[in-house]
Amino acid sequence: MTSRHVKTPNPASDFAWKINPNGDVSIVKLVNRDALEIVVPSKIDGRPVGAVEFRAFSEPAAVKSLTLPESLQRIAEEAFFNCQSLETLDLPSTSPRLFPRELALCESFTDENTPPEMHALGKGAFAGCSALKTLTIPAGWEWLGESAFADCISLETLVLPDSLKALGPCAFKGCSSLNAVTFGRNLEKIDREAFADCKSLKTLTLPDGLRVVDVAAFRNCEALTSVVFPPSLASLSTRAFENCASLTSVELPDSTTDISAAFSGCQALEKIRLPRGLKRLEHFAFWYCSALRDVELPLELETIGDDSFHGCASLSELVFPEGFKEVGNTAFCGCSSLRKLTFPASLEKIGDRAFTKCPPDLTFCGPVGSFVEKYARKKKRSFEAI
C-alpha cells in the first residue's frame, strides 16, 4: 500500500465525461490512451467528479499508475477491466463502493492502496491481477465478494483481518502460487470454491469461530498436507477438500454434524477420525480415497450412504457400532483389500451391489440369526458369529 501524496491531475481533455442528475460528473472513458500515469481530477468544469462508469478505463495498454480523487463516490462494474499494465492504484480515503469486476484482469497490478474505510470488496474486483504477490486486507473489511482476487497467479501470502466474517465464492480461486494464509479470528464462513485450485497451499489452520466450509472451498489444493479444524466447525459441504492429493490425515471436531462428500478423491488420505454424534455418512464421502486404511467411526453412526467407500482400495476392515442400521448402494464397490466387516444386530439393510468388486474371501461378522448372517448366507459369503 502506498502513501497518498499530492499529484498533478490530468487535464479534463484526457477523459470523456458527463454531468449526472445529482450535479456531479462521471468519467465515461479515458481518451488519452498513451498516458503512463493518470491522476483523475477532483473537479471538472467546476463540478465534483463523483463516479467512474462501466469500463471507463478498460484495457488501456499504457497506464501503469492510477490515482482516483477524494470526491469519488461510485465505481461501476468493470471500470478497470483488463488493465494489463496497471501496477499502482491510489484510491481515495473516502472509500467509494467497488462494484463487480472493477479491476478484473489488471495483470500487472502490484500495489493496492485500499483504505481501511472501505468495508467490502465486490465481485471480481482484482481478478486476474497476475503480478500481485502479497496481500493484507485492511482492518474493518467484513466480506470479500465473488472472485475478488481470483486468478492472481503470483499471489503467495495472504493476511485476512479479524473483522472479516465471510469469504465470497471463488474469492481466491486459481491463485496457484498461494502458499500461506493467515485467517482472521471472526471468520464464520468460507464460501464455495473460495480457495479452489490453489495448488501451492500446503497447510491450513482454520480459525476458531468458523462454522461452514462450503462446496469445493479447497478443491484441487494438490499440495495440501495438513488441516487443523476448529472446535466450532458445524459443516463441511460437498467436495470441500475434493482431490487434495497430498492430504494424509484428518481429525474432525465433534461439533461437525455434516461432512457430505468433503474428502472424495483424496488419494493420499490414510487416516480419518469422524466426529462423535455423526449419524450419517453421505453419498461419496470417501469416494476413491485409495490409501484410506484407518477409519474411526463414531458410536452414533446409523447409516453410510451410496458409494461412501467406493474405490477405497487399501481399506481392509471396519467394525460398525451398536445401533448401525443401513449400508447404501455400492458403498464398498472396488474395495479390493477388504477382508472383514463386523455388523451389530441392529443392521436392517444392505443396498444393491454394496460389495461389488470386493475380494471373494470377504468375511461378514455378526450375531447368530442376525440380518448380516442371512445376507452372507444368501450371497454365499463367509460368515463368523460374534
**Least confident window among 41-45, 142-146, 185-189, 216-220:** 142-146
- Nearest CA-CA partner of 344 in 305, 302, 378, 316: 302
DSSP 8-state assignment for residue 58:
S
**Please, are residues 146 and 124 in contact by the beta-carbon 8 Å criterion?**
yes
| Mean pLDDT across 211-234 | 97
Give just the sign of the alpha carbon dihedral 108, 113, 116, 119.
negative
Question: Does pLDDT of 103 surpass 90?
Answer: no
Site of grid cell 497447510: 203
Question: Does pLDDT of 378 surpass 90?
Answer: yes
Please give the Cα distance from 336 to 172 (Å, whole number). Answer: 38
Question: Does pLDDT of 303 surpass 50?
Answer: yes
| Residue type for position 15 | F
Give just the sign of the alpha carbon dihedral 227, 301, 243, 237.
negative
Question: Does pLDDT of 34 surpass 50?
Answer: yes
Q: 306 falls in which pLDDT band (50, 70, 90)?
A: very high
Averaged pLDDT of the chain? 88
Bridge partner residues of 365 (DSSP): 342, 384
CB within 8 Å of 224: residues ≥ 6 apart:
201, 202, 203, 204, 218, 241, 244, 246, 247
**Least confident window among 1-5, 235-239, 259-263:** 1-5
Q: pLDDT tens-digit profile of 41-94?
A: 999 999 999 988 888 887 666 788 888 898 988 777 667 766 767 766 676 764
Q: pLDDT tens-digit profile of 145-180?
A: 788 888 888 889 998 989 888 888 999 999 999 999
Site of grid cell 459443516: 235
Q: Which cell goes with 182? A: 493467515
Q: Which cell goes with 224? A: 495440501
Identify whether 258 is part of a domain: yes
**Per-residue pLDDT at 366:** 98
Identify whether 183 is part of a domain: no
**Per-residue pLDDT at 119:** 42
Q: What is the pTM of this model?
A: 0.79
Q: 112 falls in which pLDDT band (50, 70, 90)?
A: low
Give just the sign of the alpha carbon dihedral 115, 86, 123, 47.
positive
How many CA atoms lie within 13 Å of 230's alpha carbon, on the beta-carbon side?
Answer: 20
Question: Does pLDDT of 96 surpass 80?
Answer: no
Q: 5 falls in which pLDDT band (50, 70, 90)?
A: low
**Please, are residues 221 and 245 in contact by the beta-carbon 8 Å criterion?**
no
**Please, are residues 109 and 83 in contact by the beta-carbon 8 Å criterion?**
yes
User: Based on C-alpha coordinates, what's the Rg of the chain?
Assistant: 27
**Per-residue pLDDT at 118:** 42
SS3 378: helix
Identify whether 117 is part of a domain: no
Identify whether 49 is part of a domain: no
Identify whether 222 is part of a domain: no
**Per-residue pLDDT at 116:** 45
Domain range spanning residue 345? 248-386
198, with CB counted inside 10 A (0-12, 13-18, 19+), is buried
**Please, are residues 236 and 216 in contact by the beta-carbon 8 Å criterion?**
no
Identify whether 301 is part of a domain: yes
**Structural domain total, the chain:** 1
Identify whether 198 is part of a domain: no
CB within 8 Å of 170: residues ≥ 6 apart:
146, 147, 150, 191, 192, 193, 194, 196
Q: What's 258's domain CATH number?
A: 3.80.10.10
**Please, are residues 40 and 67 in contact by the beta-carbon 8 Å criterion?**
yes
**Please, are residues 246 and 268 in contact by the beta-carbon 8 Å criterion?**
yes
Please give the Cα distance from 11 to 9 (Å, whole number). Answer: 6
Bridge partner residues of 327 (DSSP): 304, 350
Number of neighbours of residue 374 by Cβ within 10 angstroms: 12
Q: 95 falls in which pLDDT band (50, 70, 90)?
A: very low
Identify whether 256 is part of a domain: yes
